[in-house]
Structure 1
Amino acid sequence: MTDSTSHGRPAGAGNLLREQRIARQRQFRRHAQRRRVVSIATLAAAFSLFALYIAWLEAHGTSSAHGDESPLAAAVARGPEAANGADSVELVKRGEYLARAGGCITCHTSDKSRPFAGGVAIGTPIGTIYTPNITPDPDTGIGQWGDADFLRAMHEGIGKAGERLYPVFPYPSYTKVLDRDVLAIRAYLNTVTPVHYTPPANELTFPFNQRWLMVIWNLFNFDEGRYVPDPKQSAEWNRGAYLVEGLAHCGECHTPRNVMQGLNAHDRFSGARQAGWHAFNITPDKISGIGDWSAADLVAYLATGVAPRRASAAGPMAQVVEDSTQYLSGEDLRSIAGYLRALPPVRGGVGGDMSAARDSHGAPAADVTALRGMATTGVNGAQLFIANCASCHGWTGEGIGAGAPGGYPSLIHNSVAGAADPANLAMVILHGVSRKTQQAEVLMPSFSSQLTDDQIAALARYVMTQFGNPHSSLTAAQVAQLRALQP
């Protein structure tokens, strides 16, 4: 006889329980689906409200108050048309000096016959951006900009028409510059020759060509506000901080970037790559940075492009010296040096850690004796050095007049040859050096059209092994990548 129960329950009870369980599961899934719909709708509504808020700010946002200016100073700073006589001349002269300190001419001059007319192509991870015309031309420049427009661009990264500016224009640093200095620069720019020229349009793909996205970028990477002196520090330190952090915007090149291409605040001034070049660590770390540099070394480097037995400016830094830092007063240069030497040291940075300082390597070469009578080959580093470099740097590598601003630098105790990252050495060989200062004009020819990638790699390896960091290396493939970059 078959038992009609299971554990004391009727046989049909199990089916009923299963049906109830299935019904509960279906009800749970329906509730979960409703919650997802509500969540998505809430998120969409929040985003819509945020977008409407941003649009309202764009249309109705008010200009920042500029409380550091007295009415008289603001009136004088409007330019020559609002000031008279000696005050006007002095204002424009000060504005020219500050424009030099800010490097305006470097980024806004693609053709030296039309200074400040823009058109410089700046390569970025999101495409190519061309700098604007900042001459007082009313149609293609900033001739119709008011003082408030200029202040807003410098301090907030917003153009005259309300468009968001891309941070290749270093407004995250310029925001620290006081109103009176910004308006002095504006007064100077009012006096430069107007140039009727429209630079090329930016070459950016969607969505990076949407300027409103800079609002989101600013939320994570931009703090608007003027520099406030630290009462615990000296006047020299504060002046150096004002220049380095603000007008001279040193961190824009010497600080690594985060995933959004904003400055990485944790590794400030520890070095970064810029269009193939390595902007070195300028913190006072004794191995990776400039910890062994004296204040006099830094002042000499910024004024002439040469710190004897340490470094010679090349690439973008040579242009900074030529266009900007050589014109700074001794007081300002000493302030910059003092501030940099007081920064917290950061070990490592771009290019990796090193066992010794960049400028501590090298010994004179004697390969020329061994090479006499030897058949020439295409990729022998020593032969390439003797054939292409020795006439200026000496076959021993010790240079000619190496301590002078116009001398041929020694490759021994040379920060480019001794770097862990060989990029700068390869870029110098590829593109040469051009640097004109009040003391001298320096010109090293480009070898990009004379030497192949294999030959440049072999030459660089020889220079690094003999005169620089023997642990560095360079391949022909790396040279090809650097060659393809915009110089």
Structure 2
Amino acid sequence: MMNQHMSRARKPGERTGNLDATVFSGSRRAALKCRRRIWKMAALAAAFSLFALYLAWLEAYDAAPRHNDDAPLAEAAAQGAALSAGTGAAPAGDATGTGPDLVKRGEYLARVGDCIACHTSDKGRPFAGGLAIHTPFGTIYTPNITPDPDTGIGHWTDADFMRAMHEGIGKEGERLYPAFPYVEYTKVTERDVQAIRAYLNTVVPVHYTPPANNLSFPFNLRWLMFFWNLLNFDEGRFVPDPKQSAEWNRGAYLVQGLAHCEECHTPRNFTQGLKTSERFSGAIQAGWHAYNITPHKMSGIGGWTDQDVTSYLSTGVAPGRANAAGPMADVVADSTQYLDSEDLRSIATYLRTVKPIDKGESRARAGWGAPASDVVALRGTKINGANGAQLFLANCATCHNWTGEGVGASAPGAYPSLIHNTVSGASDANNLAMVILHGVSRTTKVADVLMPAFDRDLSNEQIAAITNYVTKRFGNPQSTVSVEQIGNLRATPQ
């Protein structure tokens, strides 16, 4: 029903009360909206100013001690020894002198931390950096950590080095990116950090400037790491658990600190920080699956013995279970094979006590498989397209046997069985496909292991066919890959 104001014709120049009210109301709303916008801008400016003042204060507060620690390594090492004496947490080779013993200890600790792996892009210039680390935010190039004074860390003081390891802050106060695992290195004792620095002072200085990082905006702004650290970083040294044995504490110190096992074996949150609720439950790294290493019987390594763990870390082989490939082969070759038996046992002891995490597997990764006899059925058969059995016999059977049982049993350098093998029995076929694509190169004190890469010889369709044949015949039949997935894995930077 029309209201009164609409029921009669309006006289020229006449304005209704409702229209006046509407105009007034609209003007008032516009004014209020404008005032709110001004207040918001003022609040934002105030917040930004306060934050800038805080950063300035933080910089001034931290700047004083940054370059004033030129005390000899002897004093620093002695202080570190006093702080950590009696904890049973430090690795073996416990020297606290300033001469050859300290350097030897630092070399061992640098091996534990696998420093050479990330800080070497050219084996002819170790520790000179330049290795490209691909992240979801762009590419980071590792720095030169040789004692070269211009391009390396030759002008760093002991305090500079300590601050980088413990706080993730560089010589000039810049915040380091967590591709450098200071999240774990913060747990390392001062004594051990000083020993590593003493060793690095003895390596050959290399005059080389690595490429600049290539990170997209805003991730190229280092000051944003302040907020990342708030969410993902707890600064502080390892504290031994008095309720646990010295061996357990030693293992915890190594795994949580220098060895930084979580960096690969723990999934990440949306900020690329570690999901601490799922520690050691497995993650994908550059296309490779760093498996679940919790003590869960099916999803993890709960069925492994301590000897299996120590053998795997020292040789790259857990007989009848696993053979290291990809990034883990590099870890074994560059780092864990050099650990002494006491530290290896300590790592196994600690890993057995972490929270077991169930990923839903119905059978352990090494629990699958039986010998095949497809070679008989293929005789005289016409093959069309990419046939997995035929491709396996043509490319793989020479080393792994046409039955899949391998050659050489558990002898050093043996060609591994694909039966009861964690790669073929995994719930995803990533690592199997990556091994076929990129091969295996693993050099240890017991053997030189080499498997050729087939990325140049076989198409995506052929590699998918071999992968699916191997998982079906010798491993987990539910684990399959598509041609498209192979293409994606092939394109993943290594």
After TM superposition, the structure 1 stretch with the greater mean CA deviation from structure 2, 52-61 or 464-473, is 52-61
Match of 1:416 among 423, 426, 429: 423
2:341 to 305, 315, 330: 330
1:475 aligns with 2:489: no
3-state SS of 2:99 partner: helix
User: Counterparts of 1:32 and 1:204 in 2: how far apart (Å)?
Assistant: 39
Q: Which residue of 1 aligns with 2:447?
A: 440
- Show CA shifts across 1:452-477 (max 9, x none): 00000000000000011100111111
Give the match for residue 175 of structure 2: 164
CA-to-aligned-CA distance 1:60-102 (integer Å, 9 cap, x gap): 425599xxx9995416699xxxxx9975111001000000000
Which residue of the partner structure matches residue 363 of structure 1?
370
Match of 1:179? 190
1:341 corresponds to which residue? 352
Deviation at 1:406, TM superposition (A): 1.4
Q: 2:232 — aligned with what?
A: 221
Does the 8 A contact of 2:74 with 2:98 survive in 1? no
Separation in 2, partners of 1:179, 1:253: 25
Distance across 1 between alignment mates of 2:285 and 2:101: 36
Q: Which residue of 2 aligns with 1:399?
A: 406
Q: CA RMSD in A?
A: 2.5
Code of the residue aligned with 1:236 in structure 2: it is E
Contact 1:77 1:184 in 2 (8 A): no
Match of 1:244 in 2: 255
Report the CA distance between 1:212 and its aligned residue: 1.5
Q: Is the Cα–Cα contact under 8 Å of residues 436 and 453 in structure 2 kept in the other structure?
A: yes
How many residues get paired? 464
2:176 aligns to what SS in structure 1? coil
Q: Which residue of structure 2 aligns with residue 373 of structure 1?
A: 380
Give the CA deviation at 1:20: 5.8
Residues 365 and 422 of structure 2 are in contact (CA less than 8 Å); yes or no, is this contact kept in structure 1? Answer: yes
1:59-458 equivalences in 2 (<5 Å): 59-62=60-63, 63=65, 73-74=75-76, 87-348=98-359, 353-458=360-465
The amino acid of 1:256's aligned partner reads P
Unpaired runs of at least 5, structure 1:
5-14, 79-83
Task: Report Cα offsets for 1:90-139 as digits up to 9, x if no partner.
Answer: 10010000000001011111111211111111111111111111111111
- Whole-angstrom CA distance in 1 between matches of 2:240 and 2:20: 75
Q: Secondary structure at the match of 2:155?
A: coil
Checking the alignment, whether the CA contact within 8 Å between 1:149 and 1:160 is kept in structure 2 is yes
Shift of 1:393: 0.7
Report if aligned partners of 1:285, 1:346 keep a CA contact under 8 Å in 2. Answer: yes
Specify the alignment match of 2:90 in structure 1.
Answer: none
Per-residue CA deviations over 1:120-170 (Å, capped at 9, x if unaligned) read 111111111111111111111111111001001111111112221111010
TM-score (norm 2): 0.89
For residues 238 and 417 of structure 1, the distance between their equivalents in structure 2, rounded to whole angstroms, comes to 34
The answer as to whether partners of 1:412 and 1:468 remain within 8 angstroms in 2 is yes
Instruction: Give a deviation string over 1:318-362, Cα, whole Å, max 9, x none.
Output: 0000111111111111111111110011111xxxx3221111110
Q: Which piece of structure 1 moves more, 396-405 or 356-365?
A: 396-405
1:214-267, Cα deviation, whole Å (9 max, x unpaired): 112111111111111111211111111111111100000111111111111111
One-letter identity of the residue aligned with 1:264: K
| TM-score in terms of structure 1 length | 0.90
Task: Give the partner amino acid of 2:104.
Answer: K
CA distance in 2: counterparts of 1:330 and 1:185, whole angstroms: 21
Offset of residue 174 of structure 1: 0.4
The question of whether the paired residues in 1 share the 8 Å contact of 2:96 and 2:191 is answered with: no
Q: What's 2:54 paired with?
A: 53
Once residues 281 and 96 of structure 2 are traced to their aligned partners in structure 1, the CA distance between those partners, rounded to angstroms, is 46
- Does the residue aligned with 1:61 lie in a helix, a strand or coil? helix
